């Protein structure tokens, strides 16, 4: 069964420093991978996704993630973080079931950006 592991529950970082949030997946079939972000007191929003093609995908606010099949990873990176990036980040993998499509989520990584 497809699953994702987020190794870090919390990542503190200073503003303008680089950050990497780690995500590893397990799947025996083709994978579709996602990163979602949840700002305080809000629902989840899609940050970026990998479906096929280029293994490096980017978001509009400077995040990027690279699909690495040999390491079964989809780590999220940003070269310089801002206070407004403080949020919880969830990695997810697509699962095809008999009834339809669903996503399996990781346990989340809380990114805290400090001055």
Binding site for other proteins (CB under 8 A): 6, 9, 32, 34, 36, 41-46, 49, 51, 90, 94, 97-108
* Distance of closest approach, residue 102 Cβ to other proteins, in angstroms: 6
Query: What is the per-residue DSSP string for 69-93?
Result: TTTTEEEEEESS--GGG-EEEEEEE
Answer for the pair 93, 72: CB distance below 8 angstroms, yes or no.
no
- Whole-angstrom distance between the N-terminal and C-terminal Cα of the chain? 41
* Distance of closest approach, residue 48 Cβ to other proteins, in angstroms: 11
Instruction: Please say which residue, 70 or 100, places its beta carbon nearer to other proteins.
Output: 100
Instruction: Please say which residue, 99 or 115, places its beta carbon nearer to other proteins.
Output: 99
* Distance of closest approach, residue 14 Cβ to other proteins, in angstroms: 24
The torsion region of residue 46 among left (phi > 0), alpha (psi -120 to 50) and beta comes to beta
């Amino acid at each position: 069964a497809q699953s994702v592991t987020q190794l870090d529950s919390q990542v503190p970082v200073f503003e303008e420093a680089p950050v990497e949030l780690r995500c590893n997946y397990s799947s025996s079939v083709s994978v579709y991978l996602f990163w979602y972000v949840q700002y305080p007191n809000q629902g989840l929003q899609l940050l970026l996704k990998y479906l096929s093609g280029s293994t490096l995908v980017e978001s509009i606010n400077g995040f990027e993630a690279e699909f690495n099949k040999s390491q079964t990873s989809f780590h999220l990176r940003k070269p310089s973080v801002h206070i407004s990036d403080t949020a919880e980040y969830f990695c997810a993998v697509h699962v095809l079931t008999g009834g339809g499509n669903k996503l399996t989520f990781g346990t989340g990584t809380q990114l805290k950006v400090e001055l």
